[in-house]
């Protein structure tokens, strides 16, 4: 299937309005690949027809599917390990008796949140901590709640953690892993759009906001950081992706080390 320049602009404009993310022309082939299945499911042989009938037609249920499809990105456990090393060191200095809370603010299919959970369970124990994961995509939120992953995504996970916190699949689940029920009990996922008012999820010692700001223009990036900052406890930290920098933005946060910022 092909997608005309006119139809690509319609998709890009709608997606930007909903998500705040600007799809550049170089993403046109990605959009074609992601939308072909949706068009086929509607019995349509043309992406231009799909755009005219569904996206321009304002079918809200279908628009949710479009956003889900365009925001789906594969991730893996313990991505960017320097943050987990910083977090482990931070836990040695935490005040005992206080619940330690972490927000995975762009949690995708949940690997980041469960990586944090493994570390907290190891360093703190089965209780005394909570994790909230949010994502724009409802499909990703549902996938995170299922906590079932291809083994390949655990390539950076220690054998000890895999043995303690995951179950290896067999039979029809061969080649997959399931995060343990005990770990999942302390991790909550819900849908949230970082470009809109956020749900009342409390304050956190650490917020992971990684590998999402790179998709936004500077003004939108600053808006997101300012929207997220009140959820960080004074003295808490914001982690961004190592390819992302806030150095030129007036965020009010203090740079501690690369991709780590403190709320003072």
Q: What's the rounded Cα separation, in Å, for the pair 83 and 39?
A: 40
User: Catalytic: 145?
Assistant: no
User: Catalytic: 155?
Assistant: no
Residue among 68, 135, 184, 210 flagged as catalytic: 135
Strand order in the sheet with 166-168: 148-150, 176-179, 166-168
- With contact defined as beta carbons under 8 Å apart, do 260 and 237 qualify? yes
Nearest to 139 by CA among 182, 173, 183, 189: 189
Pairing of strands 232-240, 204-209: parallel
- With contact defined as beta carbons under 8 Å apart, do 153 and 122 qualify? no
- With contact defined as beta carbons under 8 Å apart, do 230 and 132 qualify? no
- The number of residues making up the chain comes to 264
- With contact defined as beta carbons under 8 Å apart, do 50 and 38 qualify? yes
Residue among 22, 28, 34, 42 flagged as catalytic: 34
Q: Tell me the catalytic residues.
A: 34, 135
């Amino acid at each position: 299937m092909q997608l005309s320049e006119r139809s690509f602009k319609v998709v890009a404009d709608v997606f930007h309005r909903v998500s705040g993310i600007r799809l550049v022309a170089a993403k046109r082939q990605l959009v074609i690949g992601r939308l072909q299945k949706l068009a086929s499911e509607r019995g349509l042989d043309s992406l231009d027809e799909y755009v005219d009938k569904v996206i321009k037609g304002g079918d809200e249920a279908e628009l949710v599917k479009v956003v889900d499809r365009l925001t789906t990105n594969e991730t893996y456990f313990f991505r960017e390990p320097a943050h987990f090393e910083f977090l482990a060191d931070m836990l040695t200095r935490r005040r005992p008796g206080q619940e330690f809370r972490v927000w995975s603010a762009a949690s995708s299919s949940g690997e980041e949140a469960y990586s944090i959970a493994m570390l907290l369970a190891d360093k703190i124990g089965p209780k005394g901590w909570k994790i909230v994961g949010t994502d724009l995509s409802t499909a990703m939120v549902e996938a995170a709640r299922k906590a079932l992953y291809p083994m390949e995504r655990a390539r950076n996970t220690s054998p000890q953690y895999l043995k303690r916190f995951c179950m290896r699949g067999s039979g029809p689940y061969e080649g997959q892993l399931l995060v343990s029920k005990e770990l999942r009990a302390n991790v909550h996922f819900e849908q949230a759009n970082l470009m809109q008012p956020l749900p009342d999820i409390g304050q956190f010692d650490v917020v992971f906001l990684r590998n999402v700001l790179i998709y936004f223009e500077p003004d939108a990036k600053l808006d997101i950081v300012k929207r997220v900052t009140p959820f960080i406890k004074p003295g808490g930290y914001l982690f961004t992706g190592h390819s992302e920098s806030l150095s030129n933005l007036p965020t009010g946060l203090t740079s501690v080390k690369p991709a780590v910022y403190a709320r003072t």
